[in-house]
Amino acid sequence: MLTKVIKIKPDKPEILEIHCHSVSDEVKEIVAFVKSRQGQLTGTSDERQYEISVTDIFYIESVDNKGFIYTKDKVYETRQKLYELEEILRKKNFLRISKSMLLNLMKVDSIKPSVNGRFTAVLYSGEQVVISRKYVPDLKKALKGDG
Amino acid sequence: MTIKEFILMRVQLFFFLVTMILAASFFVGITVAPEQELYYQDLISPIIMAGLCILPTCVTYFKKEPTIKQYVFRLVLQLGLIEGILLTVLTPPSDTDKLVFYITIGVIIFVIYVIAVCIFWFQKYRQSQKLTQQLKNFQINGSK
């Protein structure tokens, strides 16, 4: 695919256009990546594609190499890998809290101790997710503003 | 925590305990039995005692995150080890019923262990409250 970057005047709107023969998986991935940079993630639910605002996401989980985006009342599947999303969402208050989960810190109501020496994050949706011991220092760092 | 870090922490704790046992032996000895004579073989006892103290803590190492069941199992195992070691090492005074002595010591160890676990949990609780407060400030005052 030929790539072209054209500089435009500041008064004109920025547009990214993809001219392709067919909307392949590769094209979908590129579109999803660009949207994620703009604060939106692409997810599928019931074989339909949705644009999910990052601010609506509670957490993102990877299960059996598949990514799932959890909002207040819906779950979407995403094609993007967890490490890619971590990189994209780092500046959007998301934090890795276990090997397979990214948590939106803005959606956490409280943190409580768990029986097995770990911490549990209670979300505004009432759901509870476990924070692995390994990631607790990162959480502390992020909350102090060093993240 | 890697196994290397875990072992390093145990070694640090071991030497700390040896020092503390020596200091305690000195102060208790000089207060209670200043006339008591010690021999070369007595010098090894702080090392043995510290080693015995460290042994039960070794079962708390987890390579992977433990489940609640695994965690509870390890706690029970640790308590069992502490009970086993102390009941083996301690000898009842000659004028005491052996069974009563061992039961009493066993119960005391159990109570102390439960208190220690509760203190540990309370520390975690305080830490979680602090984290929640920091989280609220983070959410109000702004983000990264």
pLDDT tens by residue, chain B, 144 residues: 678 888 888 899 999 999 999 999 899 989 988 888 888 888 898 999 899 888 888 888 887 777 888 888 989 999 999 999 888 888 877 777 888 888 998 999 899 999 988 998 899 999 999 999 999 988 887 654
Per-residue pLDDT tens over the stretch A81-90 = 899 899 888 8
In CATH terms, the fold of domain A39-144 is: OB fold (Dihydrolipoamide Acetyltransferase, E2P) (2.40.50)
Using alpha carbons, select from A64, A145, A140, A48 the residue that is nearest to residue A97: A140
At residue B64, the pLDDT reads 76
- State pTM to two decimals: 0.68
Using DSSP, state whether A71 is helix, strand or coil: coil
Is the separation of the CB atoms in A13 and A39 below 8 Å? Answer: no
Strands, E, within B5-60: which ranges? none
Q: Do A105 and B143 touch (CB under 8 A)?
A: yes
Q: What average pLDDT values come out for chain A (147 residues) when binned by 10 residues?
A: 86 87 84 73 89 91 92 91 88 89 94 85 93 89 76
φ and ψ of A129, to 5 deg: -125, 145
B12 to chain A, any CB pair closer than 8 A? The answer is no
Using DSSP, state whether B103 is helix, strand or coil: helix
Per-residue pLDDT tens over the stretch A22-48 = 888 888 778 777 776 677 888 999 889
Is the separation of the CB atoms in A85 and A36 below 8 Å? Answer: yes
Q: Do B66 and A116 touch (CB under 8 A)?
A: yes
Q: How far apart are alpha carbons B78 and B60 in whole angstroms? A: 8
Instruction: State the residue for tokens 């934090």.
Output: A95
Q: Do A113 and B66 touch (CB under 8 A)?
A: no
A142 to chain B, any CB pair closer than 8 A? The answer is yes
Q: Do B139 and A106 touch (CB under 8 A)?
A: yes
At residue B36, the pLDDT reads 84
Q: How far apart are alpha carbons A139 and B110 in whole angstroms? A: 35
At residue B57, the pLDDT reads 86
Tell me whether 0.85 is exceeded by the ipTM: no
Q: Which residues 111-130 of A have a C-beta within 8 angstroms of B?
A: 111-119
CB-nearest to A116 from B71, B138, B143 is: B71
At residue B144, the pLDDT reads 47
At residue A129, the pLDDT reads 93
Per-domain residue ranges of chain A: 39-144
Q: How far apart are alpha carbons B132 and A30 in whole angstroms? A: 37
